[in-house]
Structure 1
Amino acid sequence: WAMPVQRPYMPNARRTAELIQSDFAKVGVKAEIVSFEWGEYLKKSTETKRDGAVILGWTGDNGDPDNFLSVLLSCAATGEGGANRAQWCNKEFSDLLAKAKQTTDVAERTKLYEQAQVIFKEQAPWATLAHSTQFVPMSAKVSGFTMSPLGDFTFENVDIAE
């Protein structure tokens, strides 16, 4: 499946799908590329009886690892309409995420999320294809601007020289 829209992390999903299709063909696997209108694509991609792999991405919006791991990979996110489009459910992985959500100790949370990521890497329910880099062009007169790792903009310390 190829997304019908451009996203910051995937500016040309169709071309990406074609490259994957070509690689599959080299090892004897025939793959058909399909796409749908964006709303339909998102809805159909959550169906449990869906046929095929889906190109999709995620942009975290709060900086917490749970906003990525639980939302996209937990057992609770499987099923019709869920964001776990791989329909992958690993109880040990989900238990680690649940424990991490319940502790306020940053070192302990980090350890639990790292353990969960080891399971993800070993099981590989999906493959990461890309990570976007954001650029913000601006005048040399602007000072004090820093980019947020979340992609939002704050102008609290920004100044513009005359």
Structure 2
Amino acid sequence: WAMPVQRPYNPNARRMAEVMQGDFAKAGVDVEIVSYEWGEYLKRSKEVDRDGAVLLGWTGDNGDPDNFLAVLLGCDGVGGSNRAQWCNAEFEDLIQKAKVTADVAERTKLYEQAQVVFKREAPWATIAHSVVSEPVSVKVENYKIDPFGGHIFYGVDLK
């Protein structure tokens, strides 16, 4: 499935799907690319019995690993934000322990272990990580790039 819209993490999902289709063809696998209107795409992509793989991405808003790993891969997200419909007991145990652990080193270790399980089981194909940059005059002070793509000028000033 190719998204019908541009997103900060994927400016051309149709082209990405075509590249993937070509790679699958080299392996002898025929792949059909489909798309739907954005609202329909999102709705259908949540269906547990959906036919086909879905191209999607994520823009985290708080920098915490839980905002990615639990939301997109946790068992509670099946039928919702967990589009892979993947629920793995080992992974779930690690992220649930990490979620309630205040010790940063222990939390880091648990999330790293969860990532090892994720990569081993491969419920997704991780494709890209976007790097966002914005040209800003050297005269601008205190401007920070908004993770959601907005332009927040609170606290911004000019030299």
Verify same fold: TM over 0.5. yes
**Which residue of structure 2 aligns with residue 160 of structure 1?**
158
Counterpart Cα distance in 2 of 1:145 and 1:4: 31
Contact 1:63 1:150 in 2 (8 A): no
Counterpart Cα distance in 2 of 1:65 and 1:89: 17
**Which residue of structure 2 aligns with residue 49 of structure 1?**
49
Shift of residue 132, structure 1, vs aligned partner: 1.1
Shift of residue 139, structure 1, vs aligned partner: 2.0
Instruction: Answer with 108-117 or 139-148: which moved more.
Output: 139-148
**Which residue of structure 2 aligns with residue 108 of structure 1?**
106
Counterpart Cα distance in 2 of 1:151 and 1:14: 21
Which ranges in structure 2 are unaligned for 5 or more consecutive residues? none
Shift of residue 70, structure 1, vs aligned partner: 0.4
**Which residue of structure 2 aligns with residue 39 of structure 1?**
39
Contact 2:59 2:147 in 1 (8 A): no
Aligned length: 159
**Which residue of structure 2 aligns with residue 92 of structure 1?**
90
1:136-147 aligned within 5 A = 136-147=134-145
CA 1:45–1:149: 2 relative to 1, 3 Å: closer
Kindly, what percent of the aligned residue pairs are identical?
A: 68
Is the counterpart of residue 7 in structure 1 residue 7 in structure 2? yes
Contact 2:8 2:149 in 1 (8 A): no
**Which residue of structure 2 aligns with residue 61 of structure 1?**
61
Contact 1:62 1:150 in 2 (8 A): no
| TM-score for the superposition, normalised by structure 2 | 0.91
Instruction: Give CA-to-partner distance per residue, 1:88-134, whole Å, 9 cap, x none.
Output: 11101001111111111111111110110110111111011111111
**Which residue of structure 2 aligns with residue 29 of structure 1?**
29
Amino acid at match of 2:124: W
**Which residue of structure 2 aligns with residue 16 of structure 1?**
16
Counterpart Cα distance in 1 of 2:39 and 2:99: 31
Pairwise CA RMSD: 1.8
Instruction: Give CA-to-partner distance per residue, 1:49-102, whole Å, 9 cap, x none.
Output: 101110000000111110100000011211x3x111111111010011111111
Counterpart Cα distance in 2 of 1:7 and 1:110: 29
| TM-score for the superposition, normalised by structure 1 | 0.90
1:68-83 aligned within 5 A = 68-78=68-78, 80=79, 82-83=80-81
Counterpart Cα distance in 2 of 1:76 and 1:9: 24
CA 1:149–1:105: 2 relative to 1, 3 Å: farther
